[in-house]
Structure 1
Amino acid sequence: MKIINRFAERHPDYFKYQGAQEVYPHDHFLKWTLLRFIPKRFTPNQFTMLRICLIPVVAWLMATHNYTVGIVVFVIAALTDAIDGSLARTRNQVTRFGMLFDPIADKLLIGVMVLFVVFQNYNVHLGLAIIGVEVIIILSAIVAELQFKTVRAANIWGKIKMILQVLAVFLTLAALIWNATVLFSVAAWLFGIAIGFALVSLFMHGI
């Protein structure tokens, strides 16, 4: 947290609240269900940081093949992704920090799962394709930030991509826990479709 505080002191503009450019249907659903139980003192950026802190935990659980606990921690981490974005948009707490680090946290989480789960249970080319597309997305975002001084908000295609990846990882872990091999096939298709949505997301961003 000290690192975040120092960053905030040097770059206060990254933490200024602003209104959302667009509020999605699922934001309204979460606003009247899950988000209503979250106290106002908790900010979207805190949920983003929680997800980042959970990534090493997920990595350790995957490395030790503790899939039963791992699937629970992964679901919690993935849930924070749904919370932070919707919380920011519905409470007008969108920040440049969140717009920058929220997608980075997502890609780190999925990247860990690719390294410890996808490469071990699917075709290596699938894992390389997932990582390759995510790297391109990160690099394009960095270029936009450095060259144009803009932080690009995630579009609907990127959100669908993330949902598909989370479902695919969940099904893969479920297959490992309950030895349900049919779930591997379903998850593989979801990973492939997610790659397609990732490419559409890049195209819509003008890459």
Structure 2
Amino acid sequence: MSLIKRFKEKNKDLFEYLESQEVHPHDHFLENTVLRLLPKSVTPNKISIFRIIATPFVFMLILFGHYNIGVITFALVAFTDAMDGSLARTKNKITRFGMLIDPLADKLLIGSMVLLLVFKYLDFWLGIAVLGMEIIFISTAYIARVKFKTVRMANLWGKIKMFLQVLAICTVLIALVFDNPFLLNIASVILGLSVGFALVSLFRHGI
């Protein structure tokens, strides 16, 4: 028996499908457009895992200064965050494993970009604030799972936070492509707003 099968057998509750409690307007839009192009074998969890695997490639592109390709690749990989959630909600394929792996994938992607871009081109303390909040989210999710045997679902504020983080990183990359310092100031404001929404999300017990 493979390690994956053993893990699934040991943690069956993580892979049980849960009924979606809410479906957002953008879920229906994606269901009728992008998600229709996906093979039936593609699951929300596979998309989340793809995002984790793709993150090092995005990291390397930007590390070596390929900002033109980097901004497009980053945006596409970040877009999979919307895809896995919409697929899970519209097809009733929500799992506790997905509720754990999805935000982890987001934090790895955003965290790597903070290390590469925010500390270098924006503000050191802003980078610390973003990374600090993400570490807190990961810690609370781990404690909830291990100690209380629960998995917390991301709330609206957390989703807005993620959108703002992606927008800020894209703005930084575009600023580097066009050598536009003003856009870096815009990116700082956007990322600062994301920290505010992160605080609200934390107090709302989401991840």
Partner of 2:153: 153
Q: Distance in 1 between matches of 2:132 and 2:22?
A: 28
Partner of 1:19: 19
Amino acid aligned to 2:64? T
| Contact residue 45 and residue 98 of structure 1 kept, 8 A | yes
Partner of 1:66: 66
Shift of 1:3: 5.0
SS in structure 1 opposite 2:19? coil
User: Structure 1 pair 206/175, CA: closer, same or farther in 2 (3 Å)?
Assistant: closer
Structure 2 gap ranges (5+): none
Shift of 1:51: 0.2
Q: Find out whether 1:57 has 2:53 as its counterpart.
A: no
Partner of 1:93: 93
Partner of 1:80: 80
Q: Which moved more, 1:36-45 or 1:87-96?
A: 36-45
Q: For 1:128-167, list aligned pairs within 5 A.
A: 128-167=128-167
Partner of 1:32: 32
SS in structure 2 opposite 1:160? helix
Amino acid aligned to 2:94? V
Q: Distance in 1 between matches of 2:64 and 2:4?
A: 30
Q: Distance in 1 between matches of 2:181 and 2:173?
A: 11
Q: For 1:103-118, list aligned pairs within 5 A.
A: 103-118=103-118
Shift of 1:132: 0.6
Partner of 2:7: 7
User: Structure 1 pair 41/179, CA: closer, same or farther in 2 (3 Å)?
Assistant: same
Partner of 1:184: 184
Q: Which moved more, 1:164-173 or 1:177-186?
A: 177-186
User: Structure 1 pair 4/118, CA: closer, same or farther in 2 (3 Å)?
Assistant: farther
SS in structure 2 opposite 1:148? coil
For normalisation by structure 2, the TM-score amounts to: 0.94
Partner of 1:124: 124
Moved over 3 A (4+): 2-6
> What do the CA deviations read for 1:112-160 (whole angstroms, capped 9, x no partner)?
0000011100110010010011111111111111121111110000000
User: Structure 1 pair 15/75, CA: closer, same or farther in 2 (3 Å)?
Assistant: same
Shift of 1:62: 2.0
| Contact residue 54 and residue 73 of structure 1 kept, 8 A | no
User: Structure 1 pair 206/114, CA: closer, same or farther in 2 (3 Å)?
Assistant: closer
Shift of 1:6: 3.9
Shift of 1:188: 0.7
Shift of 1:38: 2.0
Shift of 1:5: 4.0
Amino acid aligned to 1:174? I
> Identical aligned pairs, as a percentage?
52
